[in-house]
Amino acid sequence: MVEVDLVVVGAGPTGLFATYYAGFRGHRVAVVDSLPELGGQVTAMYPEKMILDVAGFPAVKGRDLVAGLVEQAATADPTYLLARTATTLEHHDDGVVVHLDDGTRVSAGAVLVTAGIGKFSPRALPAGEGWLGRGLEFFVPSFAPYAGKDVVIVGGGDSAFDWALHLEPVAGSVRLVHRRDAFRAHERTVQQVRDSSVEILTRAEVTALHGAGALESVEITVDGEPTTYPAQAVVAALGFLADLGPLQEWGIEVRKRHVVVDSAMRTNLPRVFAAGDITEYPGKVRLIAVGFGEAATAVNNATVAIDPTAHVFPGHSSEGNQS
């Protein structure tokens, strides 16, 4: 049994900032995440990507943002319970108990769910069966392994174009393959890729991977005509299948795979709050910057649930530095 004041489910940017803020409010905090590392989707999917919409940072690399958040969260001296999944929730008069899949129980005064899109798994590349780790990858956590290689990126979203843009000066060649003429990626990034040396193939799909042991070439079919290109790496950026998993069994109100909250970040369950991309309410905007504000709102309102004598407004952090 782990006993704390607040248990945060999700260790992405919103969860890490909530952890810091809970410490600022004087709470003992435990953080649960199904991934083995801190940082959530940022660490798993785009640690090298430059993030442009975080206040105070004209541009910040994903891994650097996470490092700063982890350092900030450390002031709360949190208990990290990583590579574990929150399964069931028990309600008591004075708190809750969250059960984890490894048998750990976390007793707390309140729960804050910051699980992003929930547990996620990449969409498979049909032609890539058996090639994962042998030239096929779903994430690009580091650009160095692609130095000098012929790289094929499959997809038309932000991740595909971001990786194409960042790998272009590193790789020997980059081809981006998409089955349609239209792209889901941000127009500015699409234009940057068009202006680069990246070859964009539309109405196309990767239909075969070839190589003796390691990947050597790929077959790309455009308008029904197959052509073989040299390739030592394929990145399948086809999106992800998200699943709220056991959270849905808690009785929490869910709308279109998102948790419904009010203006205080309260869910329909007592002592259960939510913040970040996982939440849904009128006018919701899914940005990291928004998640930070929601985290502070959620923690301050959870504080009253944990201690009914406390105030929602904590005062300004700068006031503690005044003599």
Residues annotated in a binding site: 14, 33, 41, 46, 86, 120, 277, 318
Residue numbers in the known binding site for FAD are: 14, 33, 41, 46, 86, 120, 277, 318
Q: Note the helical H segments in 155-283.
A: 158-167, 187-194
**63: Cβ–Cβ under 8 A, 6 or more apart, which residues?**
39, 42, 43, 47, 48
Partners of 95 in beta bridges:
92
Rg (CA), the chain: 22
Q: What six digits make up the tokens of 8?
A: 């945060």
| Cα angle for residues 262, 266, 268 (degrees, 5° grid) | 90
Partners of 242 in beta bridges:
120
Query: What distance in Å separates the CA atoms of residue 284 and residue 153, rounded to the nearest whole number?
Result: 31
Instruction: Give the phi and the psi of residue 92 in degrees, each rounded to 5.
Output: -130, 165
Q: What six digits make up the tokens of 12?
A: 């992405």
Q: Which residue, 72, 66, 76, is CA-closest to 29?
A: 76
